[in-house]
C-alpha cells in the first residue's frame, strides 16, 4: 500500500464521506485516493460496442484532467472505466457490491488484483458474509456519496444504475447522461433531468464544462500540519496508538485524520503491506487491521517507532 500520509490529512475536508457516513468500510490499496477529485462512470453490464468506445473516450478525457475514476467493478461499463483509467496511468476506485474477499463477476478477479495494487478497493460488507441482492443499491449509494458527479454512459430501463442516480439527486449532486442514453426517455432519466440535477452530455466538452461549473478539478496537496491543537507531535500520537494496540486497550480519543496517519506510518514501514483494513466512523474512531502476508518483523518496526 503506497499511502501518502501527508495527503491523508485532507480527508477531514470530505464531509460527504467522513461525516455523514456511519458504518464500516473495508479497503485494500491506496486510501489517499479519497483525497483526489472523484467522478463515477457507471452503466450497463451488457455494454454495446458504441458504449465501450464512449466509456473509453470519457474516461481518458477525465483522467487527463486529474480526476479519479470511481466505478463498481461490474461487467460492462464499470470494467471498461477501471481498465481505461489504469491503462492511461490514472487512478481508480472500485466500490464493491460484495465483501472485499470476494469478486463479482469472478472474471474480474485479475482486474480486482490490479486495482488493489494500483488503485483502491472499498467495500461496506464484512469479509466472509454472503452476498445479498440489496448490497448493490447500497454500493451505488456509496459511489454517489464519494463522487462529485456521476456519469451514466449506457443503461437499460430497469438498470441498477438508477439507484445511484436517485441517490445523487437526493444529495443534490449532478448526473451527466450521455445523449445516447438521454434519448431513450427512460422515466428515471427524465425524472433526474427535470430536477435540474441531471444534465445531457453531448460531447467531452460538455462533460468538462460540467466539472468546471461545480469546481471538480484537481486539487494540489497542502502541507500537513506538524502539531496537533494540544501541542503534541505526530510521533507522540503514534506512540499513544501503538501502546494502546500492544496493551490491547481502547485507543486514545484522537481525531480521524490522526488515526489515518497512524495507519499510513505503519504502511510506509511495510507493516501493513498486503493488508485488509476496516475503519468504523461514529462517536469514536477505531482502526483495525489484519496482516495477510507479513513482510517485516512487526515487533521490531513498532519498537523503532516507539524509540523515535
Identify which has the larger pLDDT, 27 or 284. Answer: 27
Query: What share of the chain in percent tops pLDDT 90?
Result: 51
Which residue bears the cell 500540519? 225
Confidence class of residue 28 from pLDDT cuts 50, 70 and 90? Answer: confident
Asked if 149 contacts 107 with a C-beta cutoff of 8 angstroms, the reply is no
Q: Determine the pLDDT at residue 48.
A: 95
- The DSSP code for 2 is -
What confidence category does residue 128 fall into, taking pLDDT thresholds of 50, 70 and 90? confident
Task: Tell me the pLDDT tens digit for each residue of 260-291.
Answer: 566 666 656 555 544 454 554 433 333 444 44
Q: Residue 228 above 50 pLDDT?
A: no
Q: Dihedral angle at the C-alpha atoms of 52, 182, 174, 55, nearest 10 degrees? A: 10
pLDDT, average across residues 228-241: 52
Confidence class of residue 304 from pLDDT cuts 50, 70 and 90?
A: low
Question: Can you tell me the mean pLDDT for 47-74?
Answer: 96
Class of domain 23-214: alpha beta
Residues 6 or more apart whose CB falls under 8 angstroms from that of 284 comprise: 253
In this predicted structure, the answer to whether residue 251 has a pLDDT above a threshold of 90 is no
**Residue 39, exposed/middle/buried by CB under 10 A (0-12, 13-18, 19+)?**
buried
DSSP 25: E
Matching residue, cell 472523484? 38
Please tell me what DSSP assigns to residue 130.
P
Provide the pLDDT for residue 30: 86
Residue 127 has pLDDT above 90, yes or no: no
Q: What is the pLDDT of residue 35?
A: 84
**Got the DSSP string for 79-114?**
HHHHHHHHHTT--EEEEESS-TT--SSGGGHHHHHH
Of 1, 74, 13, nearest in space to 40 by CA = 74
What does the pLDDT read at residue 21? 53
Q: Does the structure show a pLDDT above 50 at 29?
A: yes
pLDDT for res 105: 95
pLDDT at 69: 98
Nearest partner of 95 among 104, 86, 84, judged by Cα: 104
Query: From CA 21, how far away is CA 163, in angstroms rounded?
Result: 17
Better-scored residue on pLDDT, 304 or 55: 55
Per-residue pLDDT, 301: 54
Residue 213, helix vs strand vs coil: helix
pLDDT, position 308 = 54
Q: Is the pLDDT of residue 295 over 50?
A: no
pLDDT at 174 over 70: yes
**Adjacency order of strands within the sheet including 285-291:** 198-201, 174-178, 149-152, 38-42, 68-71, 92-96, 120-123, 23-29, 275-281, 285-291
> Domains of the chain: which residue ranges?
23-214, 234-307
Q: Is the pLDDT of residue 7 over 50?
A: no
Sign of the dihedral defined by the CA atoms of residues 23, 121, 116, 64, in that order = negative
Q: What H or E segment, with its residue span, contains residue 168?
A: helix 161-170
- Average pLDDT of the segment spanning 35-61: 96
| 110-126 tens-digit pLDDT | 999 999 999 999 998 88
Q: What are phi and psi of 24, to 5 degrees?
A: -105, 140
* Range 127-140 average pLDDT: 90
| Predicted model pTM | 0.70
Amino acid at each position: 500500500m503506497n499511502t501518502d500520509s501527508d495527503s491523508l490529512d485532507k480527508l477531514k475536508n470530505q464531509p460527504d464521506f467522513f461525516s455523514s457516513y456511519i458504518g464500516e468500510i473495508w479497503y485494500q490499496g491506496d486510501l489517499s485516493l479519497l483525497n483526489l477529485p472523484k467522478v463515477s462512470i457507471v452503466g450497463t453490464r451488457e455494454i454495446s460496442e458504441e458504449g465501450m468506445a464512449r466509456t473509453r473516450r470519457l474516461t481518458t478525457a477525465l483522467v487527463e484532467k486529474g480526476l479519479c475514476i470511481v466505478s463498481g467493478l461490474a461487467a460492462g461499463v464499470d470494467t471498461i472505466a477501471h481498465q481505461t483509467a489504469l491503462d492511461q496511468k490514472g487512478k481508480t476506485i472500485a466500490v464493491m457490491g460484495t465483501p472485499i474477499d470476494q469478486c463479482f463477476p469472478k472474471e474480474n478477479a485479475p482486474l480486482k488484483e490490479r486495482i488493489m495494487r494500483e488503485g483502491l478497493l472499498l467495500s461496506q460488507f464484512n469479509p466472509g458474509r454472503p452476498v445479498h441482492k440489496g448490497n448493490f443499491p447500497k454500493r451505488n449509494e456509496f459511489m454517489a456519496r464519494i463522487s462529485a458527479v456521476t456519469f451514466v454512459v449506457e443503461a437499460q430501463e430497469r438498470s441498477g444504475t438508477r439507484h445511484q442516480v436517485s441517490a445523487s439527486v437526493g444529495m443534490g449532486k449532478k448526473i451527466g447522461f450521455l445523449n445516447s442514453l438521454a434519448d431513450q426517455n427512460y422515466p428515471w432519466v427524465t425524472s433526474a433531468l427535470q430536477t435540474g440535477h441531471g444534465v445531457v452530455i453531448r460531447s467531452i466538452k460538455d462533460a468538462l464544462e460540467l466539472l468546471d461549473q461545480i469546481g471538480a478539478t484537481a486539487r494540489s496537496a497542502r502541507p500537513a500540519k506538524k502539531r496537533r491543537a494540544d501541542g503534541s507531535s505526530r510521533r507522540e500520537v503514534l506512540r499513544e496508538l501503538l501502546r494502546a494496540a500492544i496493551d490491547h486497550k481502547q485507543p486514545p480519543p484522537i481525531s480521524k485524520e490522526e488515526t489515518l496517519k497512524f495507519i499510513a506510518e505503519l504502511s510506509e514501514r511495510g507493516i501493513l503491506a498486503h493488508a485488509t483494513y476496516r475503519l468504523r466512523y461514529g462517536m469514536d474512531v477505531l482502526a483495525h487491521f489484519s496482516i495477510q502476508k507479513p513482510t517485516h518483523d512487526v515487533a521490531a518496526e513498532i519498537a523503532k517507532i516507539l524509540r523515535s
